[in-house]
A and B are shown apart, each in its own frame.
Chain A
């Protein structure tokens, strides 16, 4: 995976950007090692008990932290908790040692603090029943909870009361006018919670058409309703609303999203078929069409291959049993699958790679990459060879790779191709420097030697001699070249 170090440096020095690495001059690498060594040597000196540090339980959570305690209290009885008391106590004592006078406020008292500051009491507060603290008891009477204490709160006061977490009845806002004022007040307060609450009320008490119409001129409220409908899964009303607003593309996407919730493939396919006619953007239309076609194909291929696999007749399935079903896989994965299991099939079959390529207009580059990876995995080197061989009209063969041969080499290497195969493609890399780099990296000795010879680089060739095995054919080859008096070395 990683390039040779010399190679890396080369790469970075030639680049106009600074490499992000420990600076080589300072040799931070060794500095890290140094601090590591120091740390390790110190272990022997001192006892390793980190008593003074935070206590850490087996799971690595500090003892006393909430997430630790959940596991602990959930799994153990109270008695085992007792035994841990000492450590918890410790955490506690350190807490209580902390000065408490820092603040006498609690978060809510900051805003509920009217009792302390009577001068700020507003009219509505004076009218209101009691202080906030007494609110809890009234909750004990669930029946009374939607009952109001005063029946003539203005829309503004109602919104304010709701903001303070009080329950208000909205039912008394009967006229459309009142309801809209209420909504506008809620929007002005920016509290999404209240806006949504008012919207729920309006949704229940207004005709759909009227609600939609009014929301069209109230964008903020509209967004909240859309979000709310998505959240609660009221798909039908949502689509009605979007259609009313003429946001057709959103309708289409929102409907298309539904396919994710359909597990059954047949049903999913049917659903996608229904999506094709939806008003997507031109581009998405073709994507959705392709999505449908792909799933349709996958269903056919899956049925066929599962049959082949269980029958045990087909060698490829016996040798390489499938790890997963091909259903719902992306297009490129499907192409890989088909190049792996169905490479030689005629174009007429649904599962043949060429058919997939044609149907989905897969670009050459992508096709070659995928086919190469699949055939290399099977070590079918002849197929690999054929992939890059083209014949011109005179019948001459020529090697051509739309992805560049350096990429071919990398893919082959990743699939553990033998050196003989690898070097054949290394030779085809056009740029000499890249070729040399790849050849060195993947130990294609012949290519390296020939290249240095062609470059008439005696020094490099001599230096390379110590990288090949002693007494090997490569060494012999280097020696014979170095001894060749015919070559005019450049150095």
Chain B
């Protein structure tokens, strides 16, 4: 189930195992039969740690989704709430508990498991409602970093960016530091820490402090990671705004990948068996898991979409040829051999079928006129063309009432690529937006300004061209089929964040001091002392391992770019990626918008 986690340079199965163990320990505390009431948001991340079979093994008989009203009848001894520490969820739990029939026998015991941290605020809230005493166990499940793939960890904390950069709430940074401490406990102390940005500085400080305060975390494990690089998302606000052009990035942009699963329109996946005359066309979306456990997906996920078609066609030929073999199988031994390979071939065929369908779905969109136009404008901005005046395409999109998030992505991109917009230009956009989409969006626009995504050019100086040239963010001659530079992931634009990581590995940040000063927040280096016995003597030709932690989110295209660097023959560094949340421009902007619809209850 989790073999893909051990495929990378660092075996992340150990982290998953630790998570499973903790879960089992908690479940066993509540003796007897159990029902779990789930905060729906958590089921996805938990699914990456444990399947239902594990819960069942520990006497979990029923599972429900958390909602107000009376809890369903279930003949169990324990009711356990698995929730994030959010006040609105506490209200629902209160409602559930108050409506519980006190007369029923035997009575059911209540427990709460907070994920990832117990919240005194929530407990206070429950106390004020008079239900705190109803809970026998109130514990926390420190699910900080969840292994998504062999080289990828995420906290799946949706609001982390908003909390850090809009509300100056550092709780998610504290969780990030905690997650890093867990990693160090399992994989050894990371000797070198680099960072850029205010939040990065905070996390490094907390790690150092925690190490001092929890001497138990001082361990004798040989360090797996050589370097930790902490990067603030607001050091590179540009990258997530641009449309990702890798296969995985486009799947995420168009359909949204949630906890490694994607839901796709079912039409293209209808089984075309003979004699079934299409009477049972599926109407529910097709749900697929996407990770490196699938051989074909691992091969194409990080490619530029333009290079995917040729791989799929090559695979098709190989599989066809393999199936043809059956005609040549003459002897019993040969037939047996063929049959033994069938399951693998069937899996490969089904995988190829799925990805051919997905590629077709995506191609329908990438060949649309509007996708072209949008991309042209993005690329103009990123290469520094006409960033200082009102853009016609954006105006047209507003006039045609395209989705607001699309408009905001483009306007923010223009602002970032111009180090802020001229006051007149900014005012014009703002006016058009609120007149077309509603005055209440003043609030969203204010949030974007606070986060620095939208601003007026105050200093009168546009730093972006200097940054672009020094870091070579725009490459005119990009090779999508056989890339030689990370810029292939955006067909020309090299993600700033990944360029920073690349330059840190070679030749070092000293070469770009000037540009680093133009980007927000401090840059720094820390060293953590290792006991003498644990200091690494590197074998000749052995790659270094760097953990890059994106505070505030990372996109699939950036991950692809780092994987590309890992695979470079003379790269010398392999990367493992961690983040507070896997994002794309749309989900990111959405997290910064004011919730305009009233609460559902």
Contacts and interface: CB of A to CB of B under 8 A. Distances in A.
A46 B137 contact: no
Contacts of A290: 439
Interface string A80-116: 0100000011011011001010110111111111100
Given A32-B363, A68-B52, A190-B202, 8 more contacts: A42-B319, A73-B63, A74-B65, A107-B19, A139-B138, A193-B85, A256-B443, A261-B598
Interface of A: 1-3, 8, 11-12, 15, 17-23, 26, 28-29, 31-32, 34-46, 48, 50, 52-54, 56, 58-62, 64-70, 73-74, 78, 81, 88-89, 91-92, 94-95, 98, 100, 102-103, 105-114, 117, 120, 122, 136, 139-140, 142, 160, 162, 165, 188-194, 196-197, 200, 219-220, 223-224, 226-228, 231-232, 253, 256-257, 259-261, 263, 283-284, 287-288, 290-291, 294, 328-332, 360, 362, 366, 369, 407
Contacts of A330: 434-439
A333 B234 CA distance: 35
B512 interface: no
A62 to B, nearest CB: 7
Given A73-B61, A110-B182, A191-B171, A103 B443 contact: no
22 contacts: A20-B305, A22-B309, A31-B312, A52-B346, A56-B287, A59-B284, A60-B287, A64-B53, A67-B43, A91-B52, A92-B54, A105-B185, A106-B21, A110-B181, A117-B216, A193-B119, A193-B120, A193-B171, A223-B169, A227-B163, A288-B439, A331-B436
B29 interface: yes
Interface in B541-555: none
Given A73-B61, A193-B117, A219-B168, A66 B50 contact: yes
Nearest to A291: B439
A460 B167 CA distance: 63
A28 B306 contact: yes
B245 A20 contact: yes
B157 interface: no
Nearest to A56: B287
A133 to B, nearest CB: 9
B297 interface: no
A52 B171 contact: no
Interface string B15-40: 10111011001000100000000100
A17 B372 CA distance: 10
9 closest Cβ pairs, A-B complex = A192-B171, A28-B309, A35-B316, A60-B287, A223-B168, A31-B313, A197-B120, A69-B52, A291-B439
Interface stretch (B374-382, B461-469, B579-587): B374-382
Interface in B175-225: 177, 181-182, 185-186, 202, 205-206, 209, 213-218
A95 B64 CA distance: 24
A91 B51 contact: yes
B44 to A, nearest CB: 7
Nearest to B441: A330
A66 B353 contact: no
Interface in B268-321: 271-274, 284-287, 289, 305-306, 309-310, 312-313, 315-317, 319-320
A117 B185 CA distance: 14
B435 A21 contact: no
B383 to A, nearest CB: 8
B600 interface: no
Interface centre among A52, A105, A224 (most CB of B within 10 A): A105
Contacts of B369: 1-3, 8
Nearest to B379: A17
A43 B439 contact: no
A314 to B, nearest CB: 27
A139 B443 CA distance: 44
B136 interface: yes
Contacts of A35: 312-313, 315-316, 352, 356
Nearest to A117: B216
Contacts of A70: 38, 43, 63-65
Contact of B142 (A22, A107, A259): A107
